[in-house]
Amino acid sequence: MKVLQGLLDDALEETEDSLINEGDSGTEGDDSDGEGGNGNEDLFDHKLTARERAVIQLVVSLVKLVKMTFKKLVIRTFVDVLDDTEDNVQWYDAIWEKATSVSSKVDDLAGTAQSPPFSNDEIATESSALISECEQLCSLAESKTEGVHAVWWQNAKQQLRKAQSSFSNVPSLENGTPHGKEHSEVCMYLK
């Protein structure tokens, strides 16, 4: 699980860097031979629009939510599932498979967000796939928890649905600022 957490950390860092570094517009890593640089060449060849910037902010928020889900999986669930029964081994296998899929979906979405210009359809499709996989991961975790831990997983799935609603509003972003109660609540949940 630490390996997957590391991959999520990398995706989050790269996506956040794209927001920070987009203002450099071709100055950093711009070699005449096209090699070298910091890995964000696509961003430096393209000045982000307000809509693209807002989408990248949504992607960063979603990746943070997924990262928190992985962390809570270890803290809230793994500690309660320690015995090596056949049922638990199968559950761990299912968790690993789903977590690997979630990590791959994060990579896909972060990669698209780091390569503007991107279409609303690309972002909507990839965010929806990630959110669906992450909800399934939460359901697997919830199946082995009780009490406050189970409630946490239910709330996490609710936040993922709110994030999906924010991505559904991408075409209607005004002046590049995500709006709506859902986006505000997702951002507040992450703080």
**What is the dihedral angle through the alpha carbons of 95, 98, 100, 101, rounded to the nearest 10 degrees?**
180
**pLDDT tens, residue by residue, 45-55:** 668 888 888 88
Can you give the pLDDT at residue 49?
Answer: 84
Which domains can be identified in the chain, with CATH numbers? 2-19+49-190 (1.20.1410.10)
**pLDDT tens, residue by residue, 144-157:** 888 999 999 999 99
Measured CA distances, 14 to 31, 38, 146, 171 (Å): 20, 10, 36, 24
Residues 158-181 have a mean pLDDT of 70
Q: Phi first, then psi: what are they for 40, rounded to 5°?
A: -110, 35
Binning pLDDT at 50, 70 and 90, where does residue 11 land? Answer: low
